[in-house]
Structure 1
Amino acid sequence: MAKSSNTLLIILAFFAIYVIWGSTYLLNKIAVTELPAYMLAGIRFTTAGLLIFGICKVSGISIKITLKQFRNSFIAGFLFLTFGNGVFVWGLKYVDSSFAALEVAAMPLIVLILMRVVDGKKIKPMSIVGVILGVIGIYLLVSQKQIVQQDESLLGMIIIFFCVLGWSTGSLFVSKATLPQSYLVNTAYQMVTAGITLGITSLVLGENWSWPSTWSGPVQLSMGLLIILGSIVAFSAFNYLLKTVSPEKVATSSYVNPVIALLLGWYVLDENITSQSILAAGVLLTGVFFINTKKKLVMFSHFRGKLKNTSEDIK
């Protein structure tokens, strides 16, 4: 029974990071059109973290942690939220939300390469095919004339790439680091520390802060959904999965996120989807599929079988 409950929890957690996070590209894009990026992210994560601490208090969950756990939570919060999300929202000022989501689809490729460099994990033949397809997909994505000819779009692409690198590094770090045992407590500390860091960054940069009462209706709704669904629900699910399944499996959220973001960006914000973007998305998603699938290439397996039989005949 416990195994069945755990399986259901994993499925629900994957739904959260697939679908809910896919919609946050749109929500962030709506909010950042009116609010400064670092102020937006700072308020979002600090509020979400404090709410989670409140949930822990009501539920009787202790929020006491060791100094080592606090340090690791701070590092994870910086990689995921301060850098990975806060700077990412800034990058959305220069590119469409759907385009940003497509660029994030390269994350499984980066995670795989980092696991090879850091952990020495052997890259399987299927994964090599995935990396090649990923490189082709990224080239198709960033080589579009209507994008390359805009200096600000190039800046946005570079910003988002480094954010993806931050998320990928954080995923490997969290999978091994000593963190609070409760996923809620872990999430709360990451969010509050990152939120404070983002708030300080906002003040240093001289961003103009404003009261929520002065925000437009769409921005208020977007911020509410980002705090409750995007932060409390989805990020808690993300931290849970990083300790339950392997990092490259968690990175498969990049399969679904771009599709959700593309559809919502087109339907709600009337963002343009070029045929080359669709092709790039297809190639990228095929690449990450090859990286994560456990099946072997039929042609490769057939060739290896033939080679084995030939060597036996020679003997």
Structure 2
Amino acid sequence: MLKAPNTVLVILAFFSIYVIWGSTYLLNKVAVTELPPFMLASIRFTIAGLLIFFLCKIMRISLAITRKQLINTIIAGFLFLAFGNGVVVWALKYVDSGFAALQISAQPLVILILMWLIDGKKIKPMSMVGVILGIVGIYLLVSQKALINNENSILGMGMIFLCLLSWAYGSLFVSKASLPTNYFVNTGYQMFTGGILLMLASLAFGEPWSSPAVWSLPTQYSMILLIIFGSIVAFTSFNYLLKVVSPEKVATSTYVNPIIALLLGWYFLNEQITLQSVIAATVLLTGVYFINTRKKLVIYSRFWNKPGKGIAEEIEK
């Protein structure tokens, strides 16, 4: 019999990936206006990883992992952080934070397609409707002339799409890979190795490094919040959820992330929210809903037909 996950932890973890991650677009946008993108991301994740290792030592949590687990954390660190996040930070130099969040909200669509291509999972009729709506929503989003005319905006949008593929494949990889059983340790290794890879990328691209002492206060505050909440808290929650619920459900954070990012970008950075963006967001998020709602209906149906078992146990199957 499978052990049901802690309900409170699951709720708090979802809050982290819903709300905290929604705010990281604003924080990254603020910091990347002053700092080189790969340097920014490298400092964020390397320090976050080291802090997690330090906390593990204080809490007497063993950091020992097998060679296979180390290799898998390096792969996950590359897919999620070095490429999946580092390139998004780079793209924020050319696209608005809210726009980037909306584009990334297509992640459940990409995960569903990859599960079909890699695992042979059949796409249900309602999910197919979601795929069609998702494609329409993405087209409406990226076809806005005001955005396309911006310098390097098309390049930025294209790179964000590649990040979508990296995150989607990473989600499937982590859900099956042998990784440290402690979610804190798992996150620490992914953060640290991803940060080192980003450092190598920064040096390879010749980015100039600077001391935090010379950064502006907004950039310093953004980096602190990104390290503590956006990295340690939210990413630990993300890895935890990938093990206790399905990848599609974890990807539902994209319902909330773009809304948070749009509102924060509009309020703090005066980013424009166009009517076409609102329509695109509505169509795209409706598609994401269709992709996930079929799964939920099946789960609840099975639950009520088998009153002796809990929802969490049914999800695990």
TM over 0.5, shorter chain: yes
Q: Once the 2 structures are TM-superposed, how far is the Cα of residue 171 of structure 1 from its aligned partner?
A: 0.2
1:260 corresponds in structure 2 to: 260
1:153 corresponds in structure 2 to: 153
d(CA) in 2 for partners of 1:131 and 1:212? 44
Cα 1:119–1:5 change in 2 (3 A) is closer
Deviates more, 1:69-78 or 1:3-12: 3-12
Is residue 120 of structure 2 the alignment partner of residue 125 of structure 1? no
d(CA) in 1 for partners of 2:84 and 2:41? 11
Deviates more, 1:141-150 or 1:81-90: 141-150
Is residue 274 of structure 2 the alignment partner of residue 289 of structure 1? no
List per-residue Cα deviations over 1:11-65 (Å, max 9, x = no partner).
1000000000000000000000000000000000000000000110000100000
List per-residue Cα deviations over 1:236-282 (Å, max 9, x = no partner).
00000001100011011110000000000000001001000000000
Q: Once the 2 structures are TM-superposed, how far is the Cα of residue 4 of structure 1 from its aligned partner?
A: 8.6
RMSD: 1.1
Q: Once the 2 structures are TM-superposed, how far is the Cα of residue 206 of structure 1 from its aligned partner?
A: 1.0
1:302 corresponds in structure 2 to: none
Q: Percent identity among equivalent residues?
A: 69
How do 1:205-244 residues align onto structure 2 when only pairs under 5 Å count?
205-244=205-244
Any conservation in 1 of the 2:44–2:195 contact (CA below 8 Å)? yes
Is residue 24 of structure 2 the alignment partner of residue 30 of structure 1? no
How do 1:1-315 residues align onto structure 2 when only pairs under 5 Å count?
6-293=6-293, 294-295=296-297
Q: Answer with 1 or 2: which has the greater Rg.
A: 1
Q: Once the 2 structures are TM-superposed, how far is the Cα of residue 147 of structure 1 from its aligned partner?
A: 1.5
List per-residue Cα deviations over 1:68-118 (Å, max 9, x = no partner).
000000000000000000111001101000000000011000000001111
State the 4+ residue runs in structure 1 displaced beyond 4 angstroms: none
Cα 1:118–1:228 change in 2 (3 A) is same
Deviates more, 1:123-132 or 1:144-153: 144-153
d(CA) in 1 for partners of 2:60 and 2:151? 52
Unaligned runs of 5+ in 1: 297-315
Q: Once the 2 structures are TM-superposed, how far is the Cα of residue 151 of structure 1 from its aligned partner?
A: 4.4
3-state DSSP of counterpart to 2:85: helix
- Count of aligned positions: 294
2:306 corresponds in structure 1 to: none
d(CA) in 1 for partners of 2:67 and 2:60? 21
List per-residue Cα deviations over 1:118-172 (Å, max 9, x = no partner).
1111111110110010011001001111112234111110011101110001000
Unaligned runs of 5+ in 2: 299-317
Q: Which amino acid aligns with 2:68?
A: K
Give the TM-score taking structure 2 as reference length: 0.91
Any conservation in 1 of the 2:94–2:151 contact (CA below 8 Å)? no
Q: Once the 2 structures are TM-superposed, how far is the Cα of residue 5 of structure 1 from its aligned partner?
A: 7.4
